[in-house]
Structure 1
Amino acid sequence: MTVTFADIQAARARIAGQVDRTPTRHSRRLSQLTGAEVWVKFDNLHFTGSFKERGALNRLLLLNEDERRRGVVAASAGNHAQALAYHGGRLGVPVTIVMPHGTPFVKIDGTRAHGATVVIEGDDFSGSTAHAKRLEEEKGHVFVSAFDDEGIVAGQGVCGLEVLEDAPEIQDLIVPIGGGGLIAGSAIAAKAIKPELRVFGVEAAMYPSFTARREGRAPVCGGQTIAEGIAIKAVGEIPFALADPLIEEVLVCREEDFEKGVAFFATLEKTVAEGAGAGGLAALLAYPDRFRGRKVGIVLCGGNIDARMLAVVLNREMVRERRLIVFRILGDDRPGMLSAMAAVIGGLGGNIIDVVHNRLALDVPAKGAEFDIMVETRDSAHADEIGQALKDKGYALRMG
């Protein structure tokens, strides 16, 4: 089992003109935020919204006529599914996709829109894979792994090749790890072009399968992560064998890090990243000392995030920054009370978003009320200013 730089170059020639060549750009804002010089590979700009198109198309083009007629089956949380469905539809290859329960609607709908047959089966990626393997036996389809396939790895390697062409000055490359196809291919290409380059992987703390494999222990994986695109319980055999010797370190990130990455891509870079797609930025935020002052390339590998989840993440970041805060005030339940509190808040430029009255809590007097006032502020200092003004007016803040 091997994938060479020549295989990646051949894959590039094979898919040329059928997959977008996404840009790699220097980001002044993210550089200021992280203390590193940051270049972003915008693979969220592919037609199906993720890096998966290169590998999927390369693998489909390697099918023989009999295999094309039989069609392909795959298990995917969404991005491999959409890429395979889109290019399978273009090439006239029937595609069946098995997705786990809980897959974001945007990924399910996107896959169906490209003409694939979608089957929802399995509690996680492993369960979906088992069902896809059963369909392979029953229906005679060709199973196409999302990552554990040499043709897939070679196609994904084109990403690393493009990054080094656009940003030859980078010293480090950070790539999210799920099954390992992207980092394996990208590391092979990048290190062939620039051997001294350091390659770092990123995993979600809930699914540290590559890290566990490196340490020779069984991975402990599970839970609902915002980075569902890399929520893989077992890294692929082929990608691990190829990538392990080439990777400097695998950085494990918390949910908070991924959320911040999604939020900063939206607010600073004005682009949409899904949880896994924000992995590179999450690593820069979580491990700033590793990269401070260095030239770093990060692969924004996908942007297929559910709109509701994006809104939740952005609001949660406002709460972290105290730009969205709830003042809980115990007061008398009499006319004009809320108006007086609102006057203090509004007088200092706070924007009241929501108000909830609680009259039934037993630690609130029968003639009193508890007011939860959600306020949008400029920053943490502004929130403190409003809180102090409310206290100065005699209001008892129970929480702020």
Structure 2
Amino acid sequence: MSHRALIVALIVPLAVLMAAFQNPVLAQEKLVKLYAWNGYLSPTVLESFSRASGTKTQVETYETPDEAAAKLAGGNAGYDIVVLKAVPQLSQAIQAGKFQPLDAARLPALAGQDPALTKLLAGADVPTASTGIYLWGTIGLALRTDLIRKRAEDAPLNSYALIFDVRFAKKLQGCGIGLIDDPMVVLPMALRYLGLDPNQADEPEWERAAAVVQKIRPYVRTLDSANLVSGLTGKKLCLATEWNGDAVQAANKLKASEPAPKAGQVAAVIDYVVPREGGLAFIDAFAIPKDAPHPDAAYAFLNHLLQPKMIATTAGEMGYANGQPGSYDQVYAPLAADPRIFPTDAVKAKLVLVKPLAPDLQLRVDQLWAQIKAGGP
């Protein structure tokens, strides 16, 4: 190699290296890695972000929150943004130091979050400085009104008494009662029925709630978390505790499959109510891991996601409410007007996000639930 060729060979790589130091776009790979429920990120938003920024999106998914929690527990998972249930999985991971505080100056849309929802997060002891609201919903009662009215004309359709009062449970056992197989759903509902706040309840109150459920357990057809929708649409159940999105899905399936009622007949319909005593909320939130490999891309993606048009699109495609009231006028109109998805302020004011229990109390609650399950028909 000639002296001149050697100089050129050295200068060219050096110039590329210097350009990389001067230009962070060259220094950092244009990629953002996301981790979320399977099918829970809008393809429209992902494609829009990549077109606008030139940054690739790489999505990895999980099937259960426990699977995600286990994956994140070891650290160094390589994700830039994680979407997870705010309680308990994300809250516990933040408290364990797995996620970094969000820089509000770099994410101004945080200021536009629904204050009713941020209050719920704070009430459940979620470290709100490290998380933002993605989508959210309620847990209430799904009911086949046509079947219930045949068996219990006096049943209070907007109250937990419909399911926890033995008088009505007896009448409805023939058409089927279903409970979500989760003590942190059913027992807090029983606490609300008793007029108690799950986030203020101690062991005696949880035992009282378990006693309420135990009394109606002989009349419950199924404890299940996966097949309540098919039970409602297939006329195997007429009443179930349900997530609002699943209840709406069941209602839509039934409407599509049932023929129009003849004259004098009552239409088959699945209603969803948040009981007057106060419902339960769930919030799926996002956070940036402490060891995120592409933090700048993470903030860029979140700023894109939280634009009114983009978060409204996400709500429309996923079928759940978002936490940005400033976007509601851009949400698909029938969805935005549906109180099952976007509840009124009065309903939101009576919701509770159940915070994680102390380990010894959780152990006792799990024992109570095992006794309830064992006492079924």
**Higher helix proportion, which one?**
2
TM-score grouping bracket, smaller chain normalisation? under 0.3
Q: Which has the higher contact order (CA 8 A, sep 6+)?
A: 2
TM-score (norm 1): 0.25
> Please, what TM-score do these two structures have when normalized by structure 2?
0.26
